[in-house]
């Protein structure tokens, strides 16, 4: 009989021990799987949010990611549009504003966008704002929750008053709602009104279209983004150009390190617990079966087959528990993610737990190593077992 068959018979024979080990490993494994999802979940989700905008490069003022206007941004955007490999360019600016609709007043983020053929938000219904507006007319797209909060839907006209952050009171402008869209970086309860850059400038009482806060650039699929970055640096050395990967790495170092550290600590602890649980159960099982193992040895079964049997017992217990941990961990991740996403100020589309094949591979690899390590001591005990002395003790006992 093969070692695998012997291991299977043993696990079926000792059902209570087998069930305890599998349930314990499944619970511990579910926590480990969740920690692996958490370790990169924010990064993956944040990267997806950036890529969903359809732009892979962003130009900001040299001070970094803070909201600082880019000097002569209109001229820079026009120059970038002429670069080889550039598919689309959008100059964007964000200001605080208040929308008045009937008796309702709603605080919103007012976004101005200039000359983008693509969309920096996902249109749900209606129409997008024009990409080549040459007048001060304000056609606007609002977020999904705005109709309920502001009482205005597609086709309605609302009054928008920009709030420049000072004591200045700016006259309101009329904006016609032409569409509803999903804004990926909107937090729960936040509302957004997006219009043309010219309309935003009109709301701010400005005339020059040269103070965008960020210029988004979409490169062609066959273009080299690094070459575009170098070309922009030659045109304007005073600005910084970041790829989406650069932005993700920046936030990984500064904003997401806390969750990554928590994940590493908890993953290590859960792996240690799984090892201790299986190693203890296997060791107790071997001690209870010393006479049985000695009898097998006396019948001529070699040490290596006994060792292989114990190894496969460990693999069956840990492997079954590790596989059961995946759906259990996925279910727990949904609940944990929903709980963590209630933190204020987080984008609604940002997730803490995101599945990726890498997490499943690491999960199975860790438990494979755990199964091998857990079997090491029981195998050592069985290999050193004195056959005659053990059988005599069993008979006398």
pLDDT in tens, 126-148: 888 887 666 778 899 999 888 88
- Distance (Å, whole) CA 120 – CA 50: 10
Each residue's pLDDT tens digit, 175-196: 999 999 988 888 878 899 999 8
Model confidence at 395: pLDDT above 70: no
pLDDT above 60: residue 354: yes
**CA nearest neighbour of 17 among 269, 273, 288:** 288
End-to-end Cα spacing for the chain:
29
Low-confidence winner among 68-82, 155-169, 290-304, 356-370 (lowest mean pLDDT) = 290-304
Element (H, E) at 78: helix 73-81
How far is the CA of 5 from the CAs of 114, 288, 320, in angstroms? 70, 20, 16
Q: Per residue in 274-299, pLDDT tens?
A: 888 888 877 877 777 777 777 777 77
Q: Are 281 and 20 in contact (CB under 8 A)?
A: yes
Label residue 328 by pLDDT band (50, 70, 90). very high
- pLDDT tens profile 7-31: 788 778 778 888 888 888 899 889 8
Tell me, what's the pLDDT at 201? 86
pLDDT above 70 as % of the chain: 91
- Residue 193's pLDDT is 92
Q: Is the pLDDT of residue 167 over 60?
A: no
At 390, the pLDDT band (50, 70, 90 cuts) reads low
Q: What is the mean pLDDT of residues 201-230?
A: 85
> pLDDT per residue over 70-93, tens digit each?
888 888 988 999 999 998 898 898
Query: Taking 80 as the threshold, does the pLDDT of residue 381 lie above it?
Result: no
Do residues 349 and 184 lie in contact, with contact meaning Cβ atoms separated by under 8 Å? Answer: yes
Of 71-85, 106-120, 237-251, 357-371, the one with minimum mean pLDDT is 106-120
CA 175 vs CA 196, 259, 292, 348: distances in Å: 11, 42, 85, 26
Q: Phi and psi of 84, rounded to 5°?
A: -65, 140
CB 138 within 8 A of CB 176: yes
Amino acid 63: pLDDT? 63
pLDDT range class, residue 397, cuts 50, 70, 90? low
State how far the Cα of 142 lies from the Cα of 181, in Å rounded to an integer: 6
Mean pLDDT across 52-57: 86
As a whole number, mean pLDDT of residues 321-337 equals 92
CA distance 89 to 282: 63
What's the rounded Cα separation, in Å, for the pair 46 and 146?
Answer: 24
Adjacent-strand bridge partners of 100: 105, 159
Task: Find the angle CA(319)-CA(321)-CA(327) to the nearest 5 degrees.
Answer: 110
Instruction: Give the predicted TM-score (pTM) of the model.
Output: 0.74
- Residue 46 to residues 190, 229, 243, 251, 331: CA-CA distances in angstroms? 18, 22, 13, 9, 22
Q: How many Å apart are CA 48 and CA 293, to the nearest integer?
A: 56
CA angle 349, 351, 356 (to 5 degrees): 120
Average pLDDT, the chain: 83
User: CA 155 from chain center: how many Å?
Assistant: 36
* CA nearest neighbour of 85 among 234, 219, 218, 217: 219
Helix or strand holding residue 75 (H, E): helix 73-81
């Amino acid at each position: 009989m093969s070692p695998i068959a012997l291991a299977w018979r043993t696990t079926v024979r000792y059902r209570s021990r087998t069930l305890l080990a599998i349930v314990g490993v499944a619970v511990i494994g579910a926590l480990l799987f969740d920690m692996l999802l958490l370790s990169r979940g924010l990064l993956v989700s944040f990267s997806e949010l950036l890529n969903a905008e359809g732009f892979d490069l962003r130009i900001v003022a040299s001070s970094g990611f803070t909201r600082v206007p880019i000097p002569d941004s209109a001229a820079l955007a026009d120059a970038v549009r002429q670069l080889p490999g550039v598919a689309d360019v959008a100059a964007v600016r964000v200001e605080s504003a208040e929308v008045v609709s009937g008796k309702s007043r709603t605080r919103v983020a007012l976004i101005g966008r200039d000359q983008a053929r693509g969309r920096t938000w996902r249109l749900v219904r209606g129409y997008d704002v024009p990409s080549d507006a040459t007048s001060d007319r304000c056609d606007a797209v609002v977020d999904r929750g705005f109709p309920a909060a502001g009482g205005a839907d597609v086709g309605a006209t609302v009054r928008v008053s920009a709030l420049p952050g000072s004591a200045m009171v700016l006259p309101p402008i009329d904006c016609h709602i032409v569409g509803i869209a999903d804004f990926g970086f909107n937090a729960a309860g936040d509302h957004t009104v997006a219009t043309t850059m010219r309309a935003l400038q009109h709301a701010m009482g400005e005339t020059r279209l040269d103070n965008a806060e960020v210029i988004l650039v979409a490169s062609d699929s066959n273009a080299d983004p690094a070459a575009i970055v170098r070309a922009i640096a030659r045109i304007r050395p005073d600005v910084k150009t970041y790829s989406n990967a650069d932005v993700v790495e920046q936030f990984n170092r500064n904003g997401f390190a806390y969750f990554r550290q928590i994940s590493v600590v908890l993953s290590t602890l859960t792996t240690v617990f799984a090892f201790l649980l299986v190693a203890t159960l296997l060791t107790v099982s071997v001690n209870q079966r010393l006479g049985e193992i000695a009898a097998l040895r006396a019948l001529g079964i070699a040490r290596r087959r006994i060792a292989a049997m114990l190894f496969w017992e460990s693999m069956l217990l840990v492997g079954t528990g590790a596989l059961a941990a995946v759906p259990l961990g996925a279910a727990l991740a949904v609940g944990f993610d929903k709980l963590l996403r209630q933190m204020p100020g987080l984008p609604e589309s940002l997730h803490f737990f995101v599945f990726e094949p890498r997490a499943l591979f690491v999960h199975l690899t860790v438990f494979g190593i755990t199964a091998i390590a857990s079997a090491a001591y029981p195998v050592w005990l069985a290999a050193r077992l004195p056959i005659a002395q053990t059988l005599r003790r069993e008979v006398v006992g």
